[in-house]
A and B are shown apart, each in its own frame.
Chain A
Amino acid sequence: MAIKYSMLGLLVYAAMVAYLLAGLGLATRYLPSRFHAVRWGMYPHVFVTRLTKVGWIFYIIGFLISISAIIIRAINVDHIPLRSMFEIMLFMGMAMFPVSVFSRQVLRVGGEAVDAFVAALVLFPAGFVFPTNIGHLPPALQSPLFGPHVIAYLLAYAILAKAAVQAFALLITPGNEIAENPDCSRAQAMNRMVKFGFPMLTAGLLLGSVWGKMAWGDYWNWDPKEMLSLATWLVFAGYFHMNSSPRLGPRLRAAAVLLGFVLILATLLMANLTRIFGGMHSYTT
């Protein structure tokens, strides 16, 4: 655990602060309704609407800062900056914003306050835990599939994290209604997120498999990280079959989504960080 006294460190911290402020602003939406009526001085707008707008502005600022950090990092390392855990966390911190915007605008699923807090949370290890050592790209990582494989996975993880948030909310709250999703129930919001993320997850898996064939000689190597990502994929595939069984209610489906998300965390973190699962996927530092 160390503070980074560098330009890059500074940008990460600035993005974290912006995301935290964004999360606070956006979370005012959840205040009880009597607060919504409070007026801001002489302005005709209600207090909460204003604060949510401020939240969005900070969310955009945090996104712009993290994009700049990624560009600076790319210039410094001279390859796609997705090699070290620092770079992966930085990318995740950047990716939450576009995922939030797409979800709200196209899928009509809200929850961006949580997204902004998640963005701040994933930047924490980038800011304080993982080193920013610059490494050359070893021969195995020099493949046109490297970028697409990792980006597909990270986007899928960000999207499925949102699905897991909806699933969690569905499990802990008795009602199925939610104010921030404009036109759907929580179960529908969760379903839309899983349907958005699952093809991306599959793309990550299949691109990795084709790459494995090119680099190592086999499209499947039974490596622990591969096995965990297959388990994740199968749980979400199972989730779609639960959709077809009317007897399995939304709560059981939500449990499946949460199980899938736990497996994502296991794949992303344990395979990289612990010695339990040594394997071929240990390029990340």
Chain B
Amino acid sequence: MASRVSKIRGVLIWLGLAVLFLLAGLSVFGAFLGAQRAKNFFNSIPLAIFWLFLAELLLVSLIDWRNRKPKLGVITIHLGTLLIICGAMWGSQYAHKLRALWMGENKMVVGQVSLQPGQQAKLHDLNIKLEKAWVEYYPPTKPTWDLFYETRSPDTLTAVYQPIIWQVGEPVELGRSGIKMTVKRYVTDEANPIHDGQLAPPVVILEVSLGDVGGELMFSVKDNVVTARLPLIALFDSESAWSMAGAPSIVFDLGQAVKDYKAELSISDTTGGQLAHKVIEVNDPLQCGGYHFYLTESDGTGQNVTIMLRSDSGLWIVFTGFGLLMLGLVINMWLSPAWRASRLEQAVTLDTPREEEGQV
């Protein structure tokens, strides 16, 4: 009996080894595929069978400890790994589909809505309302907005930006276009140059010229924007001539780095009863009704915001697995060798008993 059990153990060790190296190889392969294709690959049917096989191997390796003293650390490691795989399978797209089919569960894996402040949207049986959204910036590092010279390729319309290094009263040439520009005046709210942590929008008087054509322009950046464009059409005979020349424009940009995107969300059920309310930001989602709600996109002013929600199915199984895996490793690799060594009243070593028996 004992020899049969130890045979099973031997087979398990070899299988475990093979499976781990195979998965390592597949992961390197996945790194070359890129995220989307890797995701599809690892969620394909053959791989789903592989995951089930791995889970089953782990389960068997848990059971098969009868003929030897169970090692708490090793069992915890394998149990943790098993939970991670099971939790991940429970949270997968397939599992959601199967549960919808068999158990009538009505749950999305992932969903997305674009909202403006004050708007709401319904996703399944949840009402998502964006109360407010805003952007916080790092303090400005200079007193004025940034100016860029923008051109677009007439074919692809892709824009290219070149920073304009300017000083009041000094003419500069924009790229190699032959367009000359001088900032005559840069006027801002002198009493209150920073509004809510942002540089106040300026009014700029410019002199621009191309060959003999030219003149003075006044451009005022509106409130509540972080970027504004001044197309230099006036320097050309027609709009199409301007387009053909690469649609040269001057872009005014706030030039402050974003510190935080924030959104105030309310979630309610179909009867209108509020379920949750929170100011969310990147790294701080809202959790409600079996989902996490994330702020995934926001323009520089917070006027257009995308909220994503993701199913939490299996999440806590996975996180429990993380905890057990970590705990088991600490027990097996740090605590038990240290304990063993201190019991032997020797210097602390991290050897296994096998090593001390001289088999390594």
Contact = CB atoms under 8 A, between A and B. Distances in A.
B350 A196 contact: yes
A183 B346 CA distance: 11
B176 interface: no
* Most chain B CB inside 10 Å of its own CB: which residue of A185, A195, A198, A227: A227
A210 B323 CA distance: 11
B292 A217 contact: yes
Interface in B12-48: 13-14, 16-17, 20-21, 23-25, 27-28, 30-32, 34-36, 38-39, 42
A182 B282 CA distance: 50
A196 B31 contact: no
A231 B24 contact: yes
Interface in A139-182: 139-140, 142-143
Interface stretch (B95-103, B208-216, B327-335): B327-335
Contact of B296 (A202, A217, A246): A217
Contacts of A241: 13, 16-17, 20
B88 interface: yes
A33 interface: no
B20 A237 contact: yes
Interface string A198-229: 11001100100111011111111111110110
Interface stretch (B125-133, B237-245, B258-266): B258-266
Contacts of A6: none
Chain A interface residue bracket vs B: 35 or more
Contacts of B355: 188, 191
B27 A230 contact: yes
Interface stretch (B153-161, B184-192, B219-227, B314-322): B314-322
Interface of A (DSSP majority class)? helix
Nearest to B347: A108
B348 interface: yes
Contacts of A142: 259-260, 282-283
B283 A139 contact: yes
B38 A215 contact: no
Given A191-B355, A217-B294, A185 B138 contact: no
Given A139-B261, A196-B350, A243-B352, A228 B31 contact: yes
A209 B360 contact: no
A264 to B, nearest CB: 13
A98 interface: no
A219 B283 contact: no
* Most chain B CB inside 10 Å of its own CB: which residue of A185, A188, A276, A277: A188
Chain B interface residue bracket vs A: 35 or more
Given A203-B326, A230-B27, A234-B21, A214 B333 contact: no
Contacts of A238: 17, 20-21, 24
B7 to A, nearest CB: 14
Contact of B348 (A107, A185, A202, A263): A107
Interface string B324-360: 0110011001100100000000011111101100011
Contacts of A213: 292, 315
A237 B281 CA distance: 36
B282 A221 contact: no
A34 interface: no
A195 B337 contact: yes
Contact of A227 (B21, B31, B310, B351): B31
B117 interface: no
Contacts of B88: 220
A93 B25 CA distance: 31
A192 B280 CA distance: 44
B286 to A, nearest CB: 12
A139 B282 contact: yes
Nearest to A142: B283
A218 to B, nearest CB: 7
Nearest to A203: B326
B285 interface: yes
Interface string A267-285: 0000100001111100000
B258 A279 contact: no
B13 A217 contact: no
Given A191-B350, A238-B21, A219 B315 contact: yes
A104 B360 CA distance: 21
A199 B334 contact: yes
A199 B35 contact: no
A245 interface: yes
B228 interface: no
Contact of B30 (A135, A140, A195, A222): A222
A8 to B, nearest CB: 19
Contacts of A220: 88
A109 B325 CA distance: 26
A138 interface: yes
Contact of B329 (A198, A214, A277): A198
Contact of A183 (B21, B319, B347): B347
A184 interface: yes
B329 A231 contact: no
Interface of A: 106-108, 135-136, 138-140, 142-143, 183-185, 187-188, 191-192, 195-196, 198-199, 202-203, 206, 209-211, 213-225, 227-228, 230-231, 234-235, 237-238, 241-246, 250, 263, 271, 276-280
22 contacts: A106-B348, A108-B347, A136-B257, A138-B258, A139-B261, A142-B260, A142-B283, A143-B283, A192-B351, A203-B326, A209-B322, A213-B315, A215-B283, A217-B296, A217-B310, A218-B310, A219-B318, A224-B35, A228-B27, A243-B352, A263-B24, A278-B34
- Please list the 6 inter-chain residue pairs (A to B) with the smallest Cβ-Cβ separation, ordered nearest first: A231-B27, A234-B24, A227-B31, A139-B282, A238-B20, A136-B257
